[in-house]
């Protein structure tokens, strides 16, 4: 859950970029292998410069787990990522989020009360034993635990297809042969819809569950018949990309390659040359021939970094007016300096913890994902 960040001491606010860089370097040197700094691909460059490892949300959590010698994991990303790292790391390791206000607006679009209400409503209209809950990694630990308790799994944008195939295949094993199972997918309707289409399902098999409306805004028949019940959530960064952006890019760069994240709307993904997760986008840029022009639909810091780091290719944002992810953007060098200098003094600030019961059930859902993929 989002917590409020206390104001930083004025010394950090007033410091110049060079001063902050000096303080961070000294603190990291003093802490040595006790601290491991992780940077999500959407972080600002002034933060990414200090990351011991870069990655997407899941990879960073796994890296944190593998660095068992690090007492402190400083997670430069958003709240749900730090929670996942706490779930996967040992009890001895402490996970720190440099700014407590760095949440994810999409993850906040589904909370446990709303999902439990949806589950109860579905149980009144459909055979709830046949519904498999799947949560995107971008969700609170409480929702991952809900999914673990109810026989479902977590997915990431990399493995959503395999996880949904698994969920639907459970229906084939039903004793009464009564057909496939239903999936309740949250919180991102777009990832759910895009993956459903990838699996060959059409729009008619999908219904949007609106948590603000009675019974999700659906009739009894719609609840019963839909294969995919897609939570009405979205990423405000990726939802901004429109088919018109692709048309304008193609008009200017007829040989250009369009690569978008599956959090974009289906009409955008349908027109892209390639669709994939943050890591996939990075590999697509690497794989493109020298001289290629790529139009990318994802967060602007990653797009700009890819452009800077692959000088033989041109990497452009599909949306010329794209905004950064405002929550990822919250973490600045001053926050990093503040948490690291506190660690040097023996104080842990901004620790993120998940209670043991929630963590145990969330781990069940994460482990299921790992078994499937
Ligand atoms: P990744 O899982 O690719 O890191 O994406 C996280 C995210 O927030 C995308 O918007
Ligand atoms: Fe959340 Fe979207 Fe930001 Fe990713 S880009 S952290 S989904 S708000």
Q: Kindly tell me the sign of the dihedral angle through the C-alpha atoms of 37, 38, 44, 49.
A: positive
For residues 241-260, average pLDDT: 98
Task: Answer whether residue 176 shows pLDDT above 70.
Answer: no
Q: Which CATH architecture is the domain 238-317 placed in? A: 3-Layer(aba) Sandwich (3.40)
Task: Please tell me the distance from the alpha carbon of residue 317 to that of residue 301, in angstroms, as a whole number.
Answer: 10
Rg of the chain taking only CA atoms, in angstroms: 21
Tell me the C-alpha distance between 36 and 65, whole Å: 11
Phi, psi (degrees; rounded to nearest 5) at 71:
-70, -35
Cα atoms in the Cβ-side hemisphere of radius 13 Å centred on 110 = 37
* CB of 188 shorter than 6 A to ligand 1: no
> By percentage, how much of the chain surpasses pLDDT 70?
97
State the pLDDT at residue 57. Answer: 81
- In 260-277, which positions are buried (b, 16+ CB within 10 angstroms) versus exposed (e)? bbbbbbbebbebbebbbb
> What pLDDT does residue 83 have?
95
Separation between Cα atoms, residue 238 and residue 153, nearest integer Å: 24
Ranges in the chain annotated CATH 3.40.50.10800: 10-103+327-355, 238-317
CATH number belonging to domain 10-103+327-355: 3.40.50.10800
- Distance between CA atoms of 152 and 108, rounded to whole angstroms? 20
**Nearest ligand, measured from the Cα of 239:** 2
Ligand 2: which of 328, 329, 330 to mutate, judged by most atoms within 8 Å of the beta carbon? 328
Q: Quick one: pLDDT at residue 175?
A: 53
pLDDT above 50 for 178 = no
Ligand 1 pocket, 157 CB below 6 A?
Answer: yes
Whose C-alpha lies nearest to ligand 1, atom 8?
A: 138
Instruction: Kindly report the pTM of this predicted structure.
Output: 0.93
List all residues whose CB is within 6 A of at least one atom of ligand 2: 78, 104-106, 138, 235-237, 299, 325, 327-328
- Which overall architecture, per CATH, does domain 107-235 show? 3-Layer(aba) Sandwich (3.40)
Output the pLDDT for position 177. 46
Q: What is the pLDDT of residues 188-218, one digit of tens each?
A: 999 999 999 999 999 999 999 999 999 999 9
Whether 137 is in the pocket of ligand 1, judged by its Cβ within 6 Å, is yes
- The number of the ligand nearest the C-alpha atom of 79 reads 2
| Residue 59: partners with Cβ closer than 8 Å, 6 or more residues away | 279
Q: What is the pLDDT of residue 179?
A: 41
Rounded distance from Cα 265 to ligand 1 centre (Å): 15
pLDDT for the residue 1: 45
């Amino acid at each position: 859950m989002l917590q409020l960040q206390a104001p930083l001491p004025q010394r950090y606010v007033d410091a110049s970029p060079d001063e902050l860089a000096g303080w961070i370097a000294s603190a990291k040197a003093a802490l040595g292998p006790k601290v491991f700094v992780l940077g999500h691909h959407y972080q600002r460059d002034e933060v990414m410069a200090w990351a011991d490892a870069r990655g997407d949300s899941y990879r960073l959590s796994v890296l944190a787990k593998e660095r068992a010698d690090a007492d402190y994991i400083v997670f430069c990303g958003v709240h749900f990522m730090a929670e996942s790292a706490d779930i996967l790391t040992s009890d001895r390791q402490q996970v720190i989020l440099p700014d407590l206000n760095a949440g994810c607006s999409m993850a906040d679009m589904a909370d446990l009360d709303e999902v439990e209400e949806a589950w109860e409503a579905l149980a009144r209209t459909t055979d709830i034993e046949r519904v498999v809950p799947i949560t995107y990694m971008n969700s609170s630990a409480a929702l991952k635990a809900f999914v673990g308790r109810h026989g479902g799994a977590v997915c990431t944008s990399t493995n959503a297809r395999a996880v949904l195939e698994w969920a639907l295949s459970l229906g084939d094993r039903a004793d009464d042969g009564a057909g496939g199972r239903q999936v309740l997918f949250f919180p991102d309707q777009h990832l759910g819809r895009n993956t459903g289409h990838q699996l060959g399902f059409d729009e008619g098999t999908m219904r949007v569950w609106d948590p603000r409306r009675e019974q999700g805004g659906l009739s009894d028949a719609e609840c019963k018949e839909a294969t995919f019940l897609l939570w009405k959530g979205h990423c405000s960064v990726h939802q901004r990309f429109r088919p018109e952006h692709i048309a304008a890019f193609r008009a200017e760069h007829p040989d250009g390659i369009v690569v978008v994240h599956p959090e974009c709307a289906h009409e955008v993904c349908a027109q892209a040359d390639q669709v994939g997760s943050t890591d996939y986008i990075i590999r697509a840029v690497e794989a493109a021939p020298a001289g290629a022009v790529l139009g990318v639909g994802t967060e602007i810091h990653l797009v700009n970094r890819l452009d800077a780091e692959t000088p033989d290719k041109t990497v452009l944002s599909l949306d010329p007016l794209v905004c950064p992810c405002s929550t990822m953007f919250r973490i600045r060098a001053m926050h990093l300096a503040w948490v690291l200098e506190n660690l040097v003094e023996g104080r842990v600030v901004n620790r993120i913890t998940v209670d043991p019961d929630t963590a145990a059930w969330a781990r069940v859902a994460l482990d299921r994902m790992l078994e499937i993929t």
